[in-house]
Chains A and B, each alone.
Chain A
Amino acid sequence: MKGKRCRRTLFFRALLASTSALLILPLNARADSAVGAETATGNAFNPTGQIFSLQPDPLGLSALYENSRSPTGLLYLRPLSLPEMVQSSSDPDWWSSAWAEAGYLGNAGRMGASGSLQYSDLKTGFLLSSAGFLAENRKTAFYVSGEAQEVARDDQSYRLTFGKYGLYGATLFYDSIPHVFTTQATVLWNGIGTGRLTLPSELTPGASTTPQVQAALSTIMPTVLSLKREKAGLTATYTPTDDSEVFLRVTNEWRDGTRPIGGTFGYPGMAGETEIVEPIHYRTLDLAAGARFKGEELQWNLTYAGSFFRNDVPALVWDNPGLTLNLPPGSFVPTQGRMALPPDNEYHALKGDLAWAFTDGRFAANASYSKMLQDASLIAPTIDSGIIHGVSTAIDLNNWNTVAALSQRTANAEINTFNAFAQLQFNPTSDLLVDFEVRDRNQDNRTNYVAFNPLTGQYGYIAIDGGLAPFIPRLSGIYEPAVPGSRVQIRNIPFSTDTLDLTAKASYRLDNRDRIELTYTDKLVHRTDREVPNAQDNRVTLQYASRAHEWGTFRLSYQFAILDGDDYNSFPYGAFNSTSLPGYVPRFAAGDAPFTLGPLRKYDVANRTEHVGKAQTNFMLSDKVDFQLTGDFKLDDYDADYGLKRADTYDLNAELNYQISRTTTANVYYSFQSHSRDMANINPRGPQSPSDAAGSPTYPLANAWGGAADDRNHVIGAGVNHRIGDVTIDLNYTYTHSTSALSYFYASTGAFFNALTPAQAGTAFPDSTFDHHLLETSVLWKYTEKLGIRAYYRLEYAHIDDFHYAGLTNLVANNLFLGAIPENYTAHVFGLFFQYSY
């Protein structure tokens, strides 16, 4: 940790140094809607990042009218009543304001990783919730402001901004986001957070018994698994002229902690699952710099973006307790497993935008070229030693547990992407706008890896560190030329995509406040090494926007799309499998075993018909009342007998906002959302014939089954803000209720190998539900103009039922789990804070 702190100190020093340099080169910082992802300024205690001491101004936006509305017709809120800045007595050119809020936060009940702890730090104790200042020199227009939130907490953030109004500025920032996965993990291993997990001394890797493991588990205290994202950075812009701007953005993120991850030494029916703990020690340096020109007729942007990801722990090695089922005595059991963790990678992108306005029209274009590079050192195919057996071959792991067993030592992975976009708009008449667009995106994967062991002259790999071969020799991972149907993946598959979108739009303005638009898009997709090489997605969209009515605004759209592709090839991966090697012997005399169910369609490439509708409406019921009704639907019908067949989504939202008086506002809303999908599949009996048809010996219809997922969500919210003299009361409540039903049907118990009776199998999983109540109240009493007292109370209740975790314990049928089940909780958070501001 000391080293980490040192690294951060160095980074901050570098930032300060670069900032100093930037003082010479003036810059003007602000949140950028086109670059970067650092636009947030809040935390769970203060999601909007507002200054706590500010109250809505009952005088509103204007003395001339009580309420005002946006062009869409939504009521503007009461603006915040900001104190006048104070003039410096020593230097009258300087003016300043400042604020701070500090107090005590307490809690009762139980915090839970599923909500109250997940992304926030509301622990008991002293809290400097917010402090900041703004100072400006009204002679030179120089300003400097600073802000700190949640000081010394896991969700703390800091921001320092300085510059000259309208000319330049820079922001230094730091933000921290906690992410708690579980507070109750039972971790069998030592070395949590490192790349080496070792078993306690009483257990023998590869040879522990179930009672021994059970005994060891019983002595282990629950552990919190969490990580923290800390990001620091500098953003700056400089506008040398009215029409030009240069900007710079440098950020570094440290992500440290742990999270649960699966790890296996087995196969279904064989046990050997070991849920373990992944160490997270990531650093990501992001750079972006560019220039923008904003002339009246000509505009252009030029941007370079680079991202450099580094993982301090490139691989995770863990001891295998050795629990198995149904394995012949004396079988090989791996003592260790090793998995590759996310490798270091780099990204470079150069992007240019151009727009040129001409009489009655405009041309805009964009082009970018980017490279994703990854050349991390590869780990050996296994970390274990010993002899395993394929169908006809003895495999000495000592020939595979060294990097000498690799055809190449580094990944040498690369994906290059080219994007181009061009848009021509012109007005044939004053009411008609015609728009033509073309967009091309080519993603070229140039990675080329062959799983060939020069030590043995064999193709293939070692499946799960040798753990699979003793149970199913055919799945050892090694290609055995003498064995019919020894189908093994021997190369990476460099999935590449080329898409071309052609769009034509016609937008007709019926009058000043009504607009109708018709859009047609033809998207041509070419994918290499996928089931559907070429596809065409045709979309027609009709939209209507009307602001013509003084009582409301409508925005409606409907889209119809048909995606139709080449004939579906259910096994396009032959070139990357041993089937492509000379001498490969098919499983059957008549051909090879089917790779998968022929009529199944993977939904990401399947033919599909789609209907999408969206409606945004708002009604001004009175000068003080808004009512909004919005909704949308998306209906996807896949041309598939098996696989995903249908996915439908419906959303409906209603909200009422009432500005009761200049001192009281209230709102209430309700949202309903549903998502359902149907899918079907056939449980294969194992290779029986070359046929992949439904109803074939391998895929008998008696083994067919289907599943239906049905999610329903209800969200109710309400809020009141009321000011009585110097006291402002703010109250907000949200209730979420979700139900996810997952049902299934089957032709016969062959769908699950007759392992269960129909009564045991049932027809549905227990519904997964989520109930969440969140009540937040804040009462602010401005004792004087400068002093205030704020009382805070938050009630959060969460209850999750998820069938995946029903009855889950740390040891289930010789499979080890962390026990990181969703946590139910009721948490009360209360606080009393004192404010000072001027």
Chain B
Amino acid sequence: MLLSLAGAAFLAAGFVAEAHEISGVRGDCSPDCGLAMEIGAYLKNGDANASGAISFADSHLSEVHRGVKGPAHDGSLAQEIVDYLHGTAAASKAKLAPNEGVKLAAAAVPAAQSQDQREYVGQPRCVACHAQEGQNWAHTIHAKVFGLNPRNALESAGCEACHGPGSVHVQNPAQPLSIIRFSKRSQIPIAQQNAQCLNCHRGGQRIFWPNSVHESRDLACSDCHNPMANFSARGLQARASINETCFQCHKTQRAQFTRRSHMPLLEGKITCADCHNPHGSTTEPLLKADSVNDVCFTCHAEKRGPFLFEHAPVRDNCLNCHSPHGSNNEKLLVTARPILCQSCHAQNGHPAELLTRGYLANGPLPDVRLINRSCSNCHAQIHGSNSPSGSRFER
């Protein structure tokens, strides 16, 4: 089904994609690099059968063999590309049958076990085929660190630092497990994909990543990040910003932030990561601190107190009264006052009287308990009072 929907224009490209969902880097190009770029151009232009690309590669190879190309062109890369392009169709057709992925993954275990024998081929070999990926990646922070100041041998490996040694992939690009891919079609288990990232990014903010809410739902690092290009101003997010990245899945929260009462998240002034640590924490909602209130106090330090007189549900959990992602009511309240307050208060006096529309400002008996800010008209210091006369939060 996927193939039919993909369309003929990118049939060949789709096969190649199946085998080549890996990245490239920008670096010193091999003399055959131009070949790869030209092939890319053919494919981009929609050569349905990649015939132009194959023809061009064949021609290039022929020129190498005839000595038309200089001595720097050894022809091996061109040969690989030609072999690859000629062989891709058969390999991919076999591989793309529905639900074949899992079986292939199981069958491919021996290939994975042979990883120890794999060798690094170097970034130039990667970009020879993956020129566009290389161009995109060159602007990323990874490329700059790996290229300008690698801290260890792994970082020096460039593309292969994340994708693993590429020798098997060069020999057989269509082999699903020839290299570590990060995509929906990847046969590599999510844990193994993530392990590639955690090679460098383990611990620290991610110390509680294992079996966190996101990890236990099989989220991949590359669901939220795409290190292959700059989609976001910072953080190599998969979308244009942290918020848009989170909204990929958390659409309820996106809708909540459009409500009448909301924090300035859609206005670009805060992000989901100001309150949550998506990489894992000791709290179920992935809070960035040990409790809800500790998170809220990060920006609302004036409500931290402690106060002389405390309001029990306030100290217990801000969410007893507030809906942080947005609300139809003022001040992010979970429901309208006075109903909110009257859900708990029935003391003798005035709290438990039913306030009706007749008490509205335009009603026959306007009542200060209902109109404007309702109960908070008088109980203004509801988050806690430091006044010796503030036990009822009026002062």
Contacts and interface: CB of A to CB of B under 8 A. Distances in A.
9 contacts: A37-B288, A40-B271, A77-B240, A294-B202, A374-B305, A378-B308, A513-B190, A548-B101, A772-B258
Contacts of A705: 354
A345 B304 contact: yes
A63 B43 contact: yes
Contacts of A118: 264, 267
Contacts of A644: 343-344
B163 interface: no
B17 interface: yes
Interface in B258-289: 258-260, 264, 266-271, 273-275, 277-279, 281-282, 288
A91 interface: no
Given A42-B269, A166-B150, A48 B313 contact: no
A336 to B, nearest CB: 12
A543 B219 CA distance: 13
A609 interface: no
A671 B298 CA distance: 30
Q: Which 10 A-B pairs have the closest CB atoms?
A: A807-B362, A42-B268, A63-B40, A65-B17, A294-B203, A79-B229, A299-B203, A671-B255, A342-B302, A141-B149
A707 B298 contact: no
Interface in B302-347: 302-310, 312-313, 315-317, 320, 328-330, 334-337, 339, 342-347
A738 B259 contact: yes
Contact of A604 (B43, B139, B259, B316): B316
Interface string A437-475: 001010101010101000000000111110000000001
Given A48-B244, A364-B210, 4 more contacts: A379-B388, A623-B14, A675-B334, A804-B374
A66 interface: yes
A79 B231 CA distance: 5
A372 interface: yes
B259 A164 contact: no
A194 interface: no
A716 B310 CA distance: 41
B59 interface: no
B304 A762 contact: no
A73 B282 contact: no
Contacts of A353: 207-208
Given A309-B301, A342-B302, A48 B268 contact: yes
A511 B189 CA distance: 9
- For B129, B355, B362, B368, the residue with the greatest tally of chain A CB atoms inside 10 Å of its CB is B368
Contacts of B230: 79-80, 82
Interface in B1-23: 1-2, 5-7, 10, 13-14, 16-17, 20-21
Contacts of A175: 269
Interface string B351-395: 011111111111111111111111011111100011111111011
Nearest to B152: A242
B22 to A, nearest CB: 9
A669 B251 contact: yes
A482 interface: no
Nearest to A698: B348
Contacts of A299: 202-204, 207
B126 to A, nearest CB: 12
A822 B303 CA distance: 25
B184 A73 contact: yes
A667 to B, nearest CB: 11
Interface in A533-547: 543, 545, 547
A671 B252 contact: yes
A781 to B, nearest CB: 21
A46 to B, nearest CB: 6
B65 interface: no
Given A119-B267, A756-B364, A372 B305 contact: yes
A10 B23 CA distance: 48
B131 interface: yes
A492 B249 CA distance: 45
Contacts of B320: 603-604
A79 B251 CA distance: 22
B211 A167 contact: no
Interface in A335-357: 337-340, 342-343, 345, 347, 353, 355
B370 A372 contact: no
Contacts of B312: 493, 495, 529-530, 604
Interface stretch (B27-35, B66-74, B115-123, B220-228): B220-228
A323 B228 CA distance: 68
B310 to A, nearest CB: 6
Interface in A511-537: 511-513, 515, 517, 527, 529-530
Interface stretch (A15-23, A101-109, A208-216, A811-819): A811-819
B144 interface: yes
Contacts of B366: 812-813, 815
Interface string A795-809: 000001011111111
A505 B352 contact: no
Contact of A66 (B13, B99, B233, B307): B13
B202 A165 contact: no
A31 B235 contact: yes
- For A51, A136, A175, A421, the residue with the greatest tally of chain B CB atoms inside 10 Å of its CB is A421
A381 B385 CA distance: 12
A164 B148 CA distance: 9
Contacts of B274: 37-40
B379 A262 contact: yes
B373 to A, nearest CB: 6
Nearest to B201: A294
Contact of B386 (A141, A343, A602): A343
Contact of B130 (A64, A76, A166, A616): A64
Contacts of A653: 251-252, 255
Contacts of A603: 320, 343-344
A66 B356 CA distance: 61
A77 B301 CA distance: 39
Interface stretch (A388-396, A683-691, A786-794, A828-836): A683-691
B58 interface: no
Contacts of A119: 264, 267, 269
B267 A683 contact: no
A234 interface: no
Nearest to A803: B360
B86 interface: no
Given A267-B350, A342-B302, A715-B255, A805 B44 contact: no
Contacts of A595: 347-348
Given A34-B204, A620-B2, A681-B354, A596 B10 contact: no
Given A47-B268, A441-B290, A815 B308 contact: no
A89 interface: no
A57 B136 contact: yes
A261 interface: yes
A711 to B, nearest CB: 5
Contacts of B131: 63
Contact of A764 (B269, B357, B374): B357
Interface string A120-141: 1000000000000000101001
Given A73-B184, A379-B387, A630-B252, A493 B310 contact: yes
Contacts of A549: 99
Contacts of B260: 114, 738, 770, 772, 800, 822
Interface in B234-253: 234-235, 238-244, 248-249, 251-252
Contact of A451 (B151, B316, B388): B388
Interface in A13-72: 30-44, 46-51, 57, 59-66, 68-72
